[in-house]
Amino acid sequence: MTAEKQSLAGTSRLDRAARKAARVEAREQAERWASDLLTLAEGERQCKQDVIDAALAALSINHPDAVRTTLATVFAGRPVRVARVLGDEVGLVVVVPTPDIVPGRKPALTPSGAPTLHQVTKTERNEWHAQVVAAHLLLAAKEAFAHAHGLVAARVVAVDGANVPLVAARVERARLAAIDGHEAAWPILTRASSELRFESRGRTKELVTVDLRSVDVFGPVILAE
């Protein structure tokens, strides 16, 4: 029932003056209700804004709990773990695909120009796998920088399914922002990182285990796991 109907309920239909006064009272009451609702809505909006402002303020000073909670939410359900917050840097552990992700064959042309498929060599497979690993590390760093704007660097460590470290990089926000992004992932990772650790084996350059436990930059990330 509207405010006007409520006000008119006890008024005679023949009493025009009383009905007019009732309508005025109803309009004033409706305006008061609307004002009260707006006040409540503004209070709720301000409370939500205060929560957002507090969260952003905590992120801007790299409060460890705020950074960890925010990034844990960002990376939920993805192969990225927030290992540790170290001042204005964050340590991330990224589970990367194995070399099996690279197809066994590649497009090619016969001498006559007809399309065909050639076997991918071990060297090519390992090179492409390294690009995949670098892309995963760069993506994790970019995501961290996008959601925790106070971070200046991300210490990203690529591990295989058995948690064995393969590549570690300290990606700096400023370096990464200065790269146009038209290169392959590995060269970008090299240029964006102030520290880059990896080991490769033989002439095929297969990525193998790299020991990071005694490395000052990456040791705290691995040991926090």
Under a CB-based contact definition with an 8 Å cutoff, are residues 104 and 169 in contact? no
Please report which residue ranges of the chain form alpha helices under DSSP H.
Answer: 3-8, 16-60, 64-74, 122-147, 173-177, 185-192, 219-223
- Count of other CB atoms within 10 angstroms of residue 92: 23
pLDDT at position 121? 93
Write the pLDDT tens digit of every residue in 78-132: 999 999 999 999 999 999 999 999 998 888 888 888 898 889 999 999 999 999 9
CA distances from 59 to 66, 115, 137, 218 (A): 6, 53, 22, 23
pLDDT at position 1? 47
pLDDT at position 37? 82
Could you tell me which residues are beta bridge partners of residue 89? 86, 153
pTM of the model: 0.76
pLDDT at position 105? 87
Under a CB-based contact definition with an 8 Å cutoff, are residues 224 and 84 in contact? yes
pLDDT at position 29? 78
Write the pLDDT tens digit of every residue in 187-202: 999 999 999 999 999 9
Q: Would you say residue 173 has pLDDT above 90?
A: yes
Angular region, 210: left φ>0, alpha ψ -120 to 50, beta rest: beta
Residues in the chain: 225
Write the pLDDT tens digit of every residue in 56-82: 666 677 899 999 999 999 999 999 999
Binned at pLDDT 50, 70 and 90, residue 12 comes out as: low
| Domain boundaries defined on the chain | 12-59, 62-223
Out of 10-19, 152-161, 168-177, which region has the weakest mean confidence (pLDDT)? 10-19
